[in-house]
Amino acid sequence: MEGLTTIQKLAVLFLPVLFAITVHEAAHGWMAKKLGDQTASLLGRVTLNPLRHIDPIGTIVVPLAMFALTGFLFGWAKPVPVDGRRLRQPRRDMALVAIAGPGANLIMAVFWAGMIHLGIILGDNYAWFALPMVYMGSAGILINAFLMVLNLIPILPLDGGRVVASLLPPRLAMQYARLEPWGLMIVVALLFSGLLGNVVQPGVLLVQNFSTWIVGLH
Protein backbone atom coordinates (compact mmCIF):
# COMPACT_ATOMS: atom_id res chain seq x y z
CA MET A 1 0.00 0.00 0.00
CA GLU A 2 3.01 2.25 -0.40
CA GLY A 3 1.45 4.24 -3.25
CA LEU A 4 -1.75 5.05 -1.35
CA THR A 5 -2.57 8.27 0.46
CA THR A 6 -3.35 8.23 4.18
CA ILE A 7 -7.09 8.51 3.45
CA GLN A 8 -6.89 5.61 0.96
CA LYS A 9 -5.00 3.48 3.48
CA LEU A 10 -7.62 4.15 6.15
CA ALA A 11 -10.38 3.25 3.68
CA VAL A 12 -8.63 -0.03 2.85
CA LEU A 13 -7.98 -0.87 6.51
CA PHE A 14 -11.37 0.10 7.92
CA LEU A 15 -13.41 -3.06 7.24
CA PRO A 16 -10.59 -5.59 7.85
CA VAL A 17 -9.75 -3.99 11.22
CA LEU A 18 -13.38 -3.57 12.27
CA PHE A 19 -14.37 -7.15 11.53
CA ALA A 20 -11.11 -8.71 12.69
CA ILE A 21 -11.70 -7.29 16.16
CA THR A 22 -15.48 -7.69 16.42
CA VAL A 23 -15.85 -11.15 14.84
CA HIS A 24 -13.09 -12.35 17.17
CA GLU A 25 -15.23 -11.34 20.15
CA ALA A 26 -18.44 -12.71 18.64
CA ALA A 27 -16.72 -16.08 18.22
CA HIS A 28 -16.02 -16.20 21.95
CA GLY A 29 -19.70 -15.61 22.69
CA TRP A 30 -20.84 -18.14 20.09
CA MET A 31 -18.61 -20.86 21.51
CA ALA A 32 -19.68 -20.07 25.08
CA LYS A 33 -23.32 -20.40 24.01
CA LYS A 34 -22.63 -23.77 22.40
CA LEU A 35 -20.99 -24.96 25.62
CA GLY A 36 -23.82 -23.91 27.91
CA ASP A 37 -23.24 -20.27 28.89
CA GLN A 38 -25.94 -17.95 27.52
CA THR A 39 -24.52 -14.76 29.09
CA ALA A 40 -23.12 -13.23 25.90
CA SER A 41 -26.16 -14.32 23.89
CA LEU A 42 -28.60 -12.68 26.33
CA LEU A 43 -26.60 -9.45 26.07
CA GLY A 44 -26.79 -9.51 22.26
CA ARG A 45 -23.07 -10.13 21.83
CA VAL A 46 -23.32 -13.27 19.66
CA THR A 47 -23.69 -11.24 16.49
CA LEU A 48 -21.61 -10.07 13.54
CA ASN A 49 -22.98 -6.54 13.99
CA PRO A 50 -19.81 -4.54 14.79
CA LEU A 51 -21.82 -1.93 16.70
CA ARG A 52 -22.46 -4.49 19.45
CA HIS A 53 -18.74 -5.01 20.03
CA ILE A 54 -17.18 -1.60 19.47
CA ASP A 55 -15.29 -0.07 22.37
CA PRO A 56 -15.05 3.68 21.62
CA ILE A 57 -11.49 3.82 22.95
CA GLY A 58 -10.09 0.44 21.93
CA THR A 59 -11.79 0.06 18.56
CA ILE A 60 -11.70 3.64 17.32
CA VAL A 61 -9.50 6.09 19.24
CA VAL A 62 -6.49 3.89 19.97
CA PRO A 63 -6.19 2.33 16.46
CA LEU A 64 -6.48 5.75 14.79
CA ALA A 65 -3.98 7.32 17.17
CA MET A 66 -1.54 4.43 16.79
CA PHE A 67 -1.81 4.55 13.02
CA ALA A 68 -1.33 8.32 12.90
CA LEU A 69 1.67 8.27 15.26
CA THR A 70 3.42 5.04 14.30
CA GLY A 71 1.77 3.62 11.17
CA PHE A 72 0.98 0.55 13.30
CA LEU A 73 -2.52 -0.66 14.17
CA PHE A 74 -3.39 -1.87 17.64
CA GLY A 75 -6.78 -2.05 19.31
CA TRP A 76 -9.48 -4.13 20.96
CA ALA A 77 -13.24 -4.57 21.22
CA LYS A 78 -15.44 -4.87 24.29
CA PRO A 79 -14.61 -8.24 25.88
CA VAL A 80 -17.42 -10.77 25.66
CA PRO A 81 -18.64 -11.78 29.14
CA VAL A 82 -18.31 -15.49 29.87
CA ASP A 83 -19.55 -17.11 33.09
CA GLY A 84 -17.38 -20.19 33.58
CA ARG A 85 -19.79 -21.58 36.18
CA ARG A 86 -22.41 -22.09 33.47
CA LEU A 87 -20.14 -24.04 31.16
CA ARG A 88 -20.64 -27.80 31.13
CA GLN A 89 -16.97 -28.57 31.79
CA PRO A 90 -15.60 -25.22 32.98
CA ARG A 91 -11.85 -25.83 32.67
CA ARG A 92 -11.98 -27.52 29.28
CA ASP A 93 -14.70 -25.25 27.93
CA MET A 94 -12.92 -22.04 28.93
CA ALA A 95 -10.01 -23.16 26.75
CA LEU A 96 -12.39 -23.81 23.85
CA VAL A 97 -14.05 -20.42 24.30
CA ALA A 98 -10.63 -18.76 24.33
CA ILE A 99 -9.38 -20.52 21.20
CA ALA A 100 -12.55 -19.61 19.27
CA GLY A 101 -11.37 -16.01 18.85
CA PRO A 102 -8.05 -16.79 17.15
CA GLY A 103 -9.85 -19.50 15.19
CA ALA A 104 -12.22 -16.85 13.82
CA ASN A 105 -9.22 -14.73 12.81
CA LEU A 106 -7.78 -17.67 10.89
CA ILE A 107 -11.06 -18.14 9.02
CA MET A 108 -11.16 -14.43 8.20
CA ALA A 109 -7.56 -14.51 6.96
CA VAL A 110 -8.56 -17.26 4.53
CA PHE A 111 -11.64 -15.25 3.52
CA TRP A 112 -9.52 -12.19 2.70
CA ALA A 113 -7.10 -14.37 0.75
CA GLY A 114 -10.13 -15.46 -1.26
CA MET A 115 -10.92 -11.79 -1.92
CA ILE A 116 -7.42 -11.31 -3.33
CA HIS A 117 -7.90 -14.34 -5.56
CA LEU A 118 -11.23 -12.96 -6.78
CA GLY A 119 -9.66 -9.57 -7.43
CA ILE A 120 -6.93 -11.16 -9.51
CA ILE A 121 -9.50 -13.12 -11.51
CA LEU A 122 -11.47 -9.94 -12.23
CA GLY A 123 -8.23 -8.29 -13.32
CA ASP A 124 -7.93 -5.25 -15.53
CA ASN A 125 -11.47 -5.50 -16.87
CA TYR A 126 -12.83 -4.47 -13.49
CA ALA A 127 -9.78 -2.70 -12.07
CA TRP A 128 -11.93 -0.08 -10.29
CA PHE A 129 -13.31 -2.89 -8.12
CA ALA A 130 -10.57 -5.52 -8.29
CA LEU A 131 -7.65 -3.36 -7.15
CA PRO A 132 -9.30 -2.14 -3.92
CA MET A 133 -10.32 -5.75 -3.28
CA VAL A 134 -6.71 -6.90 -3.56
CA TYR A 135 -5.48 -4.11 -1.28
CA MET A 136 -8.22 -4.81 1.27
CA GLY A 137 -7.59 -8.55 1.09
CA SER A 138 -3.87 -8.07 1.73
CA ALA A 139 -4.65 -5.88 4.73
CA GLY A 140 -7.23 -8.37 5.98
CA ILE A 141 -4.79 -11.28 5.91
CA LEU A 142 -2.10 -9.31 7.74
CA ILE A 143 -4.43 -7.89 10.40
CA ASN A 144 -6.11 -11.22 11.16
CA ALA A 145 -2.82 -13.09 11.17
CA PHE A 146 -1.40 -10.55 13.61
CA LEU A 147 -4.45 -10.65 15.91
CA MET A 148 -4.52 -14.43 15.84
CA VAL A 149 -0.87 -14.83 16.76
CA LEU A 150 -0.93 -11.96 19.28
CA ASN A 151 -3.88 -13.46 21.11
CA LEU A 152 -2.20 -16.87 21.27
CA ILE A 153 0.71 -15.46 23.31
CA PRO A 154 0.44 -17.26 26.68
CA ILE A 155 -0.07 -14.11 28.74
CA LEU A 156 -3.31 -13.38 30.59
CA PRO A 157 -5.75 -11.86 29.70
CA LEU A 158 -4.91 -12.91 26.11
CA ASP A 159 -6.57 -16.05 24.77
CA GLY A 160 -3.34 -18.00 24.90
CA GLY A 161 -3.16 -17.22 28.61
CA ARG A 162 -6.71 -18.51 29.08
CA VAL A 163 -5.77 -21.76 27.39
CA VAL A 164 -2.67 -22.17 29.57
CA ALA A 165 -4.70 -21.45 32.72
CA SER A 166 -7.22 -24.13 31.68
CA LEU A 167 -4.46 -26.71 31.14
CA LEU A 168 -2.56 -26.09 34.37
CA PRO A 169 -3.42 -27.96 37.58
CA PRO A 170 -5.89 -25.88 39.65
CA ARG A 171 -3.33 -24.67 42.19
CA LEU A 172 -0.85 -23.58 39.54
CA ALA A 173 -3.68 -22.03 37.52
CA MET A 174 -4.62 -19.83 40.50
CA GLN A 175 -1.03 -18.66 40.88
CA TYR A 176 -0.79 -18.03 37.15
CA ALA A 177 -4.03 -16.01 37.22
CA ARG A 178 -2.42 -13.54 39.66
CA LEU A 179 -0.29 -12.28 36.80
CA GLU A 180 -3.35 -11.13 34.82
CA PRO A 181 -3.35 -7.49 36.07
CA TRP A 182 0.14 -7.14 34.58
CA GLY A 183 -0.62 -8.85 31.28
CA LEU A 184 -1.65 -5.89 29.15
CA MET A 185 1.21 -3.82 30.57
CA ILE A 186 3.63 -6.52 29.42
CA VAL A 187 2.09 -6.56 25.92
CA VAL A 188 2.22 -2.76 25.64
CA ALA A 189 5.83 -2.76 26.86
CA LEU A 190 6.70 -5.36 24.21
CA LEU A 191 4.92 -3.24 21.60
CA PHE A 192 6.74 0.00 22.36
CA SER A 193 10.10 -1.74 22.81
CA GLY A 194 9.81 -3.23 19.33
CA LEU A 195 10.09 -6.77 20.68
CA LEU A 196 6.46 -7.65 19.99
CA GLY A 197 7.10 -7.72 16.25
CA ASN A 198 9.93 -10.21 16.74
CA VAL A 199 7.71 -12.39 18.92
CA VAL A 200 4.76 -12.59 16.52
CA GLN A 201 6.48 -12.33 13.12
CA PRO A 202 7.16 -16.08 12.57
CA GLY A 203 3.56 -16.97 13.40
CA VAL A 204 2.16 -14.14 11.28
CA LEU A 205 4.18 -15.30 8.26
CA LEU A 206 2.96 -18.86 8.82
CA VAL A 207 -0.70 -17.77 8.90
CA GLN A 208 -0.24 -15.56 5.83
CA ASN A 209 1.36 -18.37 3.85
CA PHE A 210 -1.31 -20.86 4.93
CA SER A 211 -4.16 -18.48 4.03
CA THR A 212 -2.85 -17.78 0.54
CA TRP A 213 -1.94 -21.42 -0.06
CA ILE A 214 -5.36 -22.76 0.87
CA VAL A 215 -7.11 -20.56 -1.75
CA GLY A 216 -4.57 -21.35 -4.43
CA LEU A 217 -2.45 -18.19 -4.35
CA HIS A 218 1.31 -18.55 -4.79
159-211 per-position pLDDT tens digit: 999 999 999 999 999 999 999 999 988 988 887 888 888 899 999 999 999 99
Looking at residue 73, its pLDDT comes to 66
Our answer to whether residue 2 is catalytic in this structure is no
Query: Crossing angle for the helix pair 6-34 and 62-70, nearest 10 degrees?
Result: 140
Model pTM? 0.90
Cα Rg, the chain, nearest whole Å: 18
108-165 per-position pLDDT tens digit: 999 999 999 999 998 878 777 888 899 999 999 999 999 999 999 999 999 999 999 9
List 24, 25, 28, 73, catalytic entry: 25
Q: Cα–Cα distance between 87 and 95 in angstroms, integer? A: 11
22-69 per-position pLDDT tens digit: 899 999 999 999 999 999 999 888 888 888 888 888 777 777 777 666
